[in-house]
Amino acid sequence: MTQVKCNDSPQCLLRNDTFKESMPSLHECYQYTKASCCTTAHDEKIKDGLISLVSDTCHENFDDLLQYYCFGCYQSQPQYTDVKAKTIRICKSFANRIWGGLETGDISKQADVFDNCGLNVDDKIVIQSKYFTDGTQFFAKVKPPFFEDYKVIIDEKDENCYNFGLHRVSLQLSSLALMIVGLFGILNYL
């Protein structure tokens, strides 16, 4: 995979530099504020793109879709981007969650998780289960902002690919570890 490099470090596509803290803080992709491949201007465009895809009232109900749209802000974005081939790699398990929800996602089948909200695709409002026969069609049409001209590659093996679920688990484990350390500190104080 060809990555953009700056001083032998992978370079973020949006920053044209390595990741760094975003100040002021990101709003939509807030989890990437401390180590971000994007700026607040990129974050605003990501929010606008998401609200354009699903309504403002619906977009907060789809965390995995939000994280897919935040791909350009992820500090490891260069690792999953081939700028010469114009591809991004996402894990199949993540694609399944985006396409069909946490429990039932399977990109090889039809899904209806967005049916109640509708999707704005190709400048028309569509119903997911009526417009797309499977998730591969969805990912061919719906791409993260700033990557519209890239092809989304879905990694069947879930290796070397973007998977926010794994990132989320590591954040939850880190938070749990900090709470345990804090609890032991309080117990030792008593």
**Interval 63-73: pLDDT, tens:** 999 999 999 99
Range of the domain at 21: 5-163
Is the N-terminal amide bond of 24 cis, ω within 30° of 0? yes
Residue 79: inside a domain:
yes
Higher pLDDT among residues 161 and 173, named by residue: 161
Residue 173: inside a domain:
no
Q: How far apart (Å, rounded) are the C-alpha atoms in residues 16 and 5? A: 9
CB distance 9 to 87 below 8 Å: no
Report residue 121: phi and psi, to 5°: -125, 135
Residue 169: inside a domain:
no
The predicted model gives 68-91 an average pLDDT of: 96
Q: How far apart (Å, rounded) are the C-alpha atoms in residues 78 and 71? A: 10
Mean pLDDT in the chain? Answer: 85
Q: pLDDT tens across 87-104, in order?
A: 999 999 999 999 987 666
pLDDT score for 105: 72
Q: How far apart (Å, rounded) are the C-alpha atoms in residues 38 and 33? A: 9
Q: pLDDT tens across 108-152, in order?
A: 999 999 999 999 999 999 999 999 999 999 999 999 999 999 999
Predicted confidence (pLDDT) at residue 185 exceeds the cutoff of 60: no
Domain count, the chain: 1
pLDDT score for 1: 53
pLDDT score for 76: 94
Residue 183: inside a domain:
no
Residue 188: inside a domain:
no
